[in-house]
Structure 1
Amino acid sequence: MNTEQKLLTPLITGTLALRNRVVMAPMNRRRALNGVPGASAPEYFGQRAGAGLIITDNTAVAPNGIGYMGTPGIYNQAQIEGWKRVTEAVHARGGRIFMQLVHAGRIGHYLNNDGQMPLIAPSAVTAEGLIRTAGEIHLPNSEPTEASAADVRRLIDEHIQGAVNAIAAGFDGVEIHGAHGFLPEQFLHPHTNRRTDAYGGSIAARSRFLLEIVAGTVAAIGKERTGIRLSPFVKLNDLPDYAEEAETQRHVVDALQEMGILYIHLSDQGPVGHGRIPEAYIRDLRRRFDGLVILAGGYSAETAEAALHAGLADLIAFGKPYIANPDLTERFRLDIPLATGDPGTYYQGGDEGYVDYPVHSRAFVANTTADCR
């Protein structure tokens, strides 16, 4: 691949300059203790600063929203201080980094939550599936409690405060996780939202929770620092198809257009068998939404290039390839085969399988550092 191709060309907005159109997708590597990024996290993210944009692990906005053991957080000062070391490492090498904000809602086990707090959700609908807990014990998802009206307001405010905390930690912006069956999508979906108040029932009411989070975040940190991840037509975390999904997603996108946020990040899970986002939907979204669009879902350099030239996206996110290839953009540029990662260390462990993957050449490290001088 040569540097004249679109994937490796810069993308400049009014407020954000990205050295290329490669995004490091959010991946929960599950190496945080008490929600604080581990000692090697600055090295891990710094190694990958050659990406145009890094999006962090999904990061819990509240002690009862952790979901998976080892998930980092952004709801106390120790976590903020831990993330400061990460943003400093990325910025020192000329990179840009957003934090993905998550509340897992009904996904998880109370044993993984800070203080073993119970799970909370729009309605008391327990998710199918098992969750890893301490001692390598796999237990069924805990039954969630139904959020009261006061709980709903607090959950919205916790997302907004998470965004404020992320900016205090030095992040360039935040991505609200509205995908993959976590709390905001649980409010969107009629299977998990059986409420009869202002946050349940109609499409507008079910969308209200997510859109109030986005509106509050925009007010707190600015629309130019706010993105969102969505996964329409994807079936993760025990969410089935529903008749109003296309209409619901159009309602959400139209509202996001009104707010003028920076980007929408679409997570396609077709390559792993959990649902594909139709191209017709993406093209319709592009007509409805003027901001940037990021696509994720099993892309190679070649398919990413094709998607960019077809006008489907402005940026392409790569997940697992970034685990074993900290110099992914350099490998794309030089057409070097990608290294293969160790799945056994994807979601647990220490430095092995985290910061010990080699780069192709020292020139990559020097070049990424030089970019910020």
Structure 2
Amino acid sequence: MDLLTPYRLHELTLPNRIVMSPMTRLRSRPDGSPTTDVAEYYAQRAAAGLIISEGIWPHSTGQSEAWVPGLHTGTHMLAWRQVTAAVHDAGGRIFAQLMHGGRKNHPRGRIDGSWPAGPSAVVDPEPVHLIDGGKAEPIVPAQLSRDQIRAIPAQYATAAHNAIAAGFDGVEIHGANSYLPHQFLADNTNLRTDEYGGSLDNRMRAPLAIVDAVAAAIGPRHTAIRLSPGNPQFAMIETDPAPLYRRLVDALDRRDLAYLHLTDNDHYPALADLRPRWHGTLIANIGENRAPTDPDAAERVLHDNHADLVSFGRAFIANPDLVDRIARELPLAPIRDESLYGRDGRGYTDYPTWAETRPAAAQTVATALE
């Protein structure tokens, strides 16, 4: 099985090609520090070839909603060191995903009370979690000024430096799924007429500046990016994504990054179209807006040479021993949707491994035979 073969990611040796996809779970403290449950959660899944953390805001003005973690303060770094140490002690490898919300959130969902701002004053339609509980309806974001845009790459660079100091093996820039770099790329969230909007090169300017700042801070081979061409989540519109993303991937390919994490789309086969343009490591995510990724589908991606590694999201939530289950062709447990987001370990660190379920299964059989 190709999924179970080792892979060399620059100085990291991955024992398999199964990647844990970044997934927001809202288990941080109000200040954005991850809890001890977070360390346990990732350590339980350390058999993955690579773990990519949940999205982490690089600066308080980029917090996408309450209870999302940050990498902006010394307190954040100390808490993340416990997480990375737990993963490494369990034999794993972990990248930090830096996730700037841009237009997302509400002042009551941010620790600094700031008003969200994006490339243009276009509303994100999704309600957001608030620090004091509950959710808030969307608000109209401010439009980022030129000076604010120019300051953002340095914020990412500082957070990337903090990530390495906190023990992460590298950093993935979240340029997908409606977050800030994607807001510059998409048709409907970037209505600017200055040097950051309009032409393809202008729309790529801020995302590439972020990549270059992070690569300068921690090295290009510790820097990665995730893209989701044509992803309609959160009312994003990219009518014809191919020309822009071909141009963007060509530009990124010259930067010798750690990897490109790419999601496929039913309306635009990004993996097939962009794979020939990317000469480095490619991680495929095929479950976005689709059924959860299963081992057979992941194997097909590798067999078709559309990627070197495949990321699994929902399967890792309910199966901390996912790699073992795939290796032994065991059934996968389903997730409990009602506990995806919460404040404690319920629905987070309490999913059993296959071995832990066997005594209960044996007792069920014995009871049925009585």
TM-score (norm 2): 0.91
Q: Which residue of structure 2 aligns with residue 264 of structure 1? A: 260
- Specify which of 349, 352, 358 is matched with residue 355 of structure 1: 349
The residue type equivalent to 1:300 in the other structure is D
Maintained 8 Å contact 1:23/1:315? yes
- Compare 96-105 and 110-119 and name the one that shifted more: 110-119
- Specify which of 294, 303, 309 is matched with residue 283 of structure 2: 294
- Specify which of 75, 82, 95 is matched with residue 98 of structure 1: 95
Superposed displacement of residue 31, structure 1: 0.8
Q: Given the alignment of the two structures, is residue 307 of structure 1 paired with residue 301 of structure 2, yes or no?
A: yes
The residue type equivalent to 1:32 in the other structure is S
Superposed displacement of residue 218, structure 1: 1.2
Identical columns (%): 40
Structure ranking higher on relative contact order (CA contacts 8 Å, 6+ apart):
1
Q: Distance in 1 between matches of 2:142 and 2:108?
A: 15
| Alignment RMSD (CA, Å) | 1.5
Matches within 5 A, 1:78-89: 78-89=75-86
Matches within 5 A, 1:113-192: 113-134=110-131, 136-192=133-189
Q: Secondary structure at the match of 2:54?
A: strand
- Specify which of 39, 42, 55 is matched with residue 42 of structure 1: 39
Maintained 8 Å contact 2:71/2:159? yes
Superposed displacement of residue 352, structure 1: 0.9
Deviations 1:140-179 (A, max 9, x none): 2222111112111111211111111110101000100000
Q: Secondary structure at the match of 2:61?
A: coil
How many residues align? The count is 350
Q: Secondary structure at the match of 1:237?
A: helix
Maintained 8 Å contact 1:119/1:144? yes
Matches within 5 A, 1:21-36: 21-33=17-29, 34-36=31-33
Q: Secondary structure at the match of 2:56?
A: strand
Q: Which residue of structure 1 aligns with residue 242 of structure 2? A: 246
Q: Given the alignment of the two structures, is residue 11 of structure 1 paired with residue 7 of structure 2, yes or no?
A: yes
The residue type equivalent to 1:95 in the other structure is G
Q: Which residue of structure 2 aligns with residue 276 of structure 1? A: 266
- Specify which of 232, 235, 258 is matched with residue 232 of structure 2: 235
Deviations 1:102-145 (A, max 9, x none): 10111222211122111011111222232232465332222211
Q: Distance in 2 between matches of 1:320 and 1:123?
A: 32
Q: Distance in 2 between matches of 1:148 and 1:289?
A: 33
- Compare 289-298 and 166-175 and name the one that shifted more: 289-298
Deviating above 6 A after TM superposition, structure 1's stretches of 4 or more consecutive aligned residues are none
Maintained 8 Å contact 2:107/2:116? yes
Q: Distance in 1 between matches of 2:15 and 2:128?
A: 38
TM-score (norm 1): 0.90
Give the unaligned 5+ runs of structure 1.
269-274, 363-373
Give the unaligned 5+ runs of structure 2.
357-370
Maintained 8 Å contact 2:28/2:343? no
Cα 1:277–1:226 shift into 2, 3 Å: farther
The residue type equivalent to 1:249 in the other structure is Y
Q: Which residue of structure 2 aligns with residue 271 of structure 1? A: none
Q: Secondary structure at the match of 1:80?
A: helix
Q: Distance in 2 between matches of 1:128 and 1:223?
A: 35
Q: Distance in 2 between matches of 1:56 and 1:319?
A: 11
Q: Secondary structure at the match of 1:55?
A: strand
The residue type equivalent to 1:276 in the other structure is D
Q: Distance in 1 between matches of 2:131 and 2:215?
A: 37
Q: Given the alignment of the two structures, is residue 344 of structure 1 paired with residue 338 of structure 2, yes or no?
A: yes
